[in-house]
Structure formats: structure tokens, C-alpha cells
């Protein structure tokens, strides 16, 4: 457990933002809309609190989970060489070596300059969790983005409902509208940012792709087109298999960030049989 990862300014900023949104939702939006002590108010406060605290739980899992380290004993499987030779370009080659760590890099593994080490199935380095998003914490990261998006959209809807039902003629004389702008802009901005991030990761997960592989794929596609060939992402096994490779085969455990027993070693990955280049 890397508790010292919490000693970072972006993580402190995340906690501040979470606290701010939580306060605004309960004590400004819900309070003004139906009253926090009413049965409707208590119900919405309870649902929102669950979403918020589940997001915090997933956030802790993301920060504290090691994204995946290359075992010191790792050497590329020579017998796989023939297979890797058929695969497209360097992104799936087994034989790559990290010049900084001086160790072999398995498939989908990349060196993170911030973490100063190689990370298995590296997606990207996320400063907001002060950790890499890799093989072991990608599921938690996805669930964090999912719950944080749902929570912020929920907060935005409550905020809009409270604004719409207010009699501004009367209320505006004694209060500043600036307070509502200061509360509404961050909540709305957060919903849009997290919503876009969620859509992006749904797309990546449905294609069994990492952020790095997406950009590698754009280049590979361009190179393939130049030479009159086509390129298909080699790890794309079909949407259902792609999704279960991240979230697990048991649908009941899809939303549990710590349920990762379906993950294996993060070193070898199934490759689609029909991924070979076609002319």
C-alpha cells in the first residue's frame, strides 16, 4: 500500500473539489429545492451520498493499487516469436526492451517517465490519482470515472431543479445570483468533463484498447494505408470479450473495483485470430 501517494497537490485538489460538490449538492441545491429534512430531500441526499462515497472508495483503490510491475524474472517467450513476427509493427512485439529499466517489456507494457518504471498494460499516467493507470487498477479507474460521472450529473440535475423552482423576483432581492453561478459552473463543468472521459473509456474498453494504443493505432493505420494495407487493433476480441476482460465475467461484480480475480499476469494477452493485415 502506497499511502504516501496521497501526499500530492492534485490529490488534495480532488478532495477539495469532491468536498465542494458534496456541500453544494446537499446544503445548497437539495436544501433550496425541497429542503434537506423533507422525505424527498433525505432520499436524494442518501442516493447522492452513496454515489459520492462509492467514488471516494474507487478513488482510494486507484491510488493505492500498484498498476502492474514487470517481474524481474521476465524474459520473452522465444516460442512465441513466430507469432509476434506476424503481428503488426512494434506495439505487439514481445521482444522490446526498456532502455531505461534495462529489462524486457511484455506486450502492452510501457515505461512511465513520472513513475520511473515500466507499467503493465499501461493506459496513461494520471496526476489526479498520482499513479499510473495500468493492468491492475484500470477497472477501478473505470468505475471511479463511471460513479463520479453519475454523481456529478445527479448533482447538476438537482442544481437545475432548484434553480428552476426558485422565484427569482422575490429571492433575488435579498441574495446574490453570483452564489448560484459560483456553485453551478463547477458542477456543470465537472459533469461535462467526466462525461467526456467516461465516453472515451467506454470506447477504449469496447475496443480493448489503451489510450497509448489508440494513438499507436492511429499511426499504424496511417502507415498501413500508405502501403495499401489495412490495420486492425490486435487485441480486439469483440465487444463482450473486451468488456469482460476489464470488468470480469461476473456481471454482479462489474461495479466492484476490488473484484479483479479474473486478471492473470498482465504479461500475455489474447490476440484476435483475424487481426492479420489484409490487402
**Who's near 176: CB < 8 A, 6+ residues apart?**
none
CB of 147 to Zn ion, least distance (A): 23
Phi/psi at 133 (nearest 5 deg)? -100, 115
Q: Shortest gap between Cβ of 124 and Zn ion (angstroms)?
A: 8
Tell me the DSSP string of 202-240: HHHHHTT--HHHHHHHHHHHHHHHHTT-----TT---HH
- Residue with smaller CB distance to Zn ion, 54 or 138: 138
Q: Considering beta carbons, is residue 5 or 241 the nearer one to Zn ion?
A: 5
Nearer to Zn ion, 26 or 120 (CB): 120
User: Any alpha helices (H) in the chain, and if so which ranges?
Assistant: 9-23, 31-33, 39-64, 81-86, 138-164, 168-174, 177-206, 211-226, 239-247
Q: Shortest distance, CB of residue 105 to Zn ion, whole angstroms?
A: 7
Note the residues at the interface with Zn ion (CB under 5 A).
Answer: 98, 100-101, 111-112, 114-115, 118, 125, 132
Cα–Cα nearest to 29, from 47, 45, 18, 46: 45
In the annotation, is 126 catalytic? yes
Shortest Å distance, C-beta 145 to Zn ion: 17
Question: Of 98 and 255, which has the nearer Cβ to Zn ion?
Answer: 98
Q: Which residue among 62, 109, 118, 126 is the active-site one?
A: 126
Which residues are known catalytic residues? 126
Amino acid at each position: 500500500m502506497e499511502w504516501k501517494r496521497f501526499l500530492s497537490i492534485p490529490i488534495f485538489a480532488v478532495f477539495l473539489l469532491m468536498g465542494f460538490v458534496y456541500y453544494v449538492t446537499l446544503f445548497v441545491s437539495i436544501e433550496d429545492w425541497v429542503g434537506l429534512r423533507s422525505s424527498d430531500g433525505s432520499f436524494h441526499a442518501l442516493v447522492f451520498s452513496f454515489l459520492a462515497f462509492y467514488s471516494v472508495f474507487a478513488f482510494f483503490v486507484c491510488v493505492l493499487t500498484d498498476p502492474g510491475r514487470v517481474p524481474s524474472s521476465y524474459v520473452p517467450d522465444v516460442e512465441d516469436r513466430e507469432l509476434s513476427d506476424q503481428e503488426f509493427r512494434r506495439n505487439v512485439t514481445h521482444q522490446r526492451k526498456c532502455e531505461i529499466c534495462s529489462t524486457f517489456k511484455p506486450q502492452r507494457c510501457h515505461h512511465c517517465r513520472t513513475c520511473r518504471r515500466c507499467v503493465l498494460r499501461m493506459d496513461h499516467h494520471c496526476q489526479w490519482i498520482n499513479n499510473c493507470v495500468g493492468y491492475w487498477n484500470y477497472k477501478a479507474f473505470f468505475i471511479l470515472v463511471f460513479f463520479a460521472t453519475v454523481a456529478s450529473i445527479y448533482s447538476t440535475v438537482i442544481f437545475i431543479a432548484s434553480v428552476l423552482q426558485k422565484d427569482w423576483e422575490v429571492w433575488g432581492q435579498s441574495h446574490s445570483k453570483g452564489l448560484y453561478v459560483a456553485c453551478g459552473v463547477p458542477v456543470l463543468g465537472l459533469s461535462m468533463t467526466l462525461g467526456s472521459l467516461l465516453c472515451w473509456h467506454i470506447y477504449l474498453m469496447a475496443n480493448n484498447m489503451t489510450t497509448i494504443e489508440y494513438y499507436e493505432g492511429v499511426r499504424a493505420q496511417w502507415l498501413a494505408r500508405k502501403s495499401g494495407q489495412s490495420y486492425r487493433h490486435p487485441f480486439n476480441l469483440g465487444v463482450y470479450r473486451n468488456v469482460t476482460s476489464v470488468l470480469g465475467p461476473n456481471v454482479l461484480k462489474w461495479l466492484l473495483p476490488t473484484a479483479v480475480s479474473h486478471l492473470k499476469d498482465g504479461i500475455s494477452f489474447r490476440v484476435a485470430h483475424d487481426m492479420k493485415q489484409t490487402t
